[in-house]
Amino acid sequence: MPDSLPAFTPLETERFRLRPLRPADAAEMHRLVNDWEVAKTLARVPFPYPRDLADEWIASTAERIAAGEAYHLAIARREDDVLVGCAGLTLDREARTAELGYWVGRRHWGQGIAPEVAGRLARWALANLDLDRITASALTDNARSAAVLRRIGFRETGEGMQDFLSRGGAMPVRRFEAVRADLSPLAAAPAPAAPEVAAQGKPILLVAAVGLIDPEGRVLLARRPEGKPLAGLWEFPGGKVRPGETPEAALIRELREELGIDVAEACLAPFAFASHGYEAFHLLMPLYLCRRWEGQVTALEGQALAWVRPQRLGDYAMPPADKPLVALLRDFL
């Protein structure tokens, strides 16, 4: 019944595909999860696991993906689509958080599947859903799961008790969480090579950005894609100024590459700048305003775009450097 499946573009890792569960997955899912060694580590899984529950659960995952409430996905091998486990996120949209969970069938243990897929799912979620934080927990006696969480960048935040259906009561767990900085590529950046480098201060990064303004006075924001630092935050279009380039030339190039529009230098009006210390560099970012361009604004790099009324800019999570610019822009427009 492919047409009853929710619209969700599968997430690929090197070896696996995270895709919506299908009714046809029920038998294999039941075989893998109806195993005490698996069920005992999961909070919301009963043991024994009734066969009918697999069908009901799969149907409910489709509904919840369609509603944007939870993303419980099959972990399938890319080469032959064999189901090896499940990974999921349950959202609390108001709190801008999601709870991560995963399990792998016993016959597939020992291949590093959990860190590969859970890391991908967490990075995807922070880049594509309106979240600031992902939480997870592992039974205190489940050192393997805690190690997976640490390996993908989660930090331990404390201990607590959680109800486990399979154990028939509350069990002690370690709690973990990750924010954008924990999972971003910048977190893995090496420390400065020599102490003198640090003592002289951070390098300055020059980035040119633009507030494109449409005839209705709305400003264009673009969402930083997965894989870049600060993924998932909304920003003014632009990018790094290359050696030998002027900020204006850099912007004209970036706008053509990223949005498919042509902007004349005379249409870029200098407006303000951001000067902000990030951990690894100091950002200096001139912000221009532009009301005239040629061509249709198109997301050429698959990034989400939003035309936002100045008064609504505060509803979009943006990099810390942009906060003062947003305030200035709101007053100006």
Binding positions for ligand 8DG, rule: CB under 6 A: 207, 209, 228-230, 235-236, 238-240, 283, 285, 319, 321-322
Between residues 77 and 218, which has the closer beta carbon with respect to ligand 8DG?
A: 218
> What's the closest the beta carbon of residue 223 comes to ligand 8DG, in angstroms?
11
Shortest distance, CB of residue 180 to ligand 8DG, whole angstroms?
A: 12
Name the closest residue to ligand 8DG (Cβ): 239
The minimum distance between CB 322 and ligand 8DG, in angstroms, equals 5
Query: Using CA of residue 281, residue 226, residue 60, residue 78, what is the dihedral sign?
Result: negative
Phi and psi at 282, nearest 5°, equal -105, 125
Q: What tokens appear for 323 in the block?
A: 């906060």
What beta strand segments (E) does 140-181 contain? 155-164, 169-179
Place of tokens 């399938």: 76
**Nearer Cβ to ligand 8DG (46/239):** 239
Which residue in the block uniquely carries the two structure tokens 């380039």? Answer: 245
Smaller CB distance to ligand 8DG: residue 117 or 231? 231
Q: C-beta of 289: minimal distance to ligand 8DG in Å?
A: 13
Tell me how far, at minimum, the Cβ of 270 lies from ligand 8DG, in Å: 15
| H/E run at residue 115 | helix 113-128
Comparison of 8 and 316: residue with beta carbon closer to ligand 8DG: 316
In whole angstroms, the minimum distance from the beta carbon of 283 to ligand 8DG comes to 5
The first and second tokens of residue 171, run together, are 């069990």
The sign of the dihedral angle between the CA atoms of 110, 111, 114, 116 is: positive
| 161 SS3 class | strand
- Minimum Å gap between C-beta 326 and ligand 8DG is 9
CB-nearer residue toward ligand 8DG: 85 or 286: 286
Judged by beta carbon, residue 120 or residue 223, the one nearer ligand 8DG is: 223
Which DSSP letter does residue 131 get?
-
With respect to ligand 8DG, which residue has the nearer C-beta, 53 or 284?
284
Q: Considering only the C-alpha atoms of the chain, give the largest distance between any 2 of them, rounded to a whole number of Å.
A: 70
Compare residues 57 and 288 and give the one whose CB is closer to ligand 8DG.
288
- Specify the DSSP class assigned to residue 15: S
- Helices 143-151, 113-128: crossing angle, 10 deg rounding: 50
Three-class SS of residue 68? Answer: coil
Nearest approach, Cβ of residue 196 and ligand 8DG (Å): 24
Closest by CA to 178, choosing from 234, 93, 121, 227, is 121
> Distance between CA 42 and CA 46 in Å, rounded?
9
C-beta of residue 140 within 8 angstroms of C-beta of residue 173: yes
Amino acid letter, residue 223: R
Q: Are 307 and 326 in contact (CB under 8 A)?
A: no
Q: How far is the CB of 321 from ligand 8DG (least distance, A)?
A: 4
CB nearer to ligand 8DG: pick between 57 and 236: 236
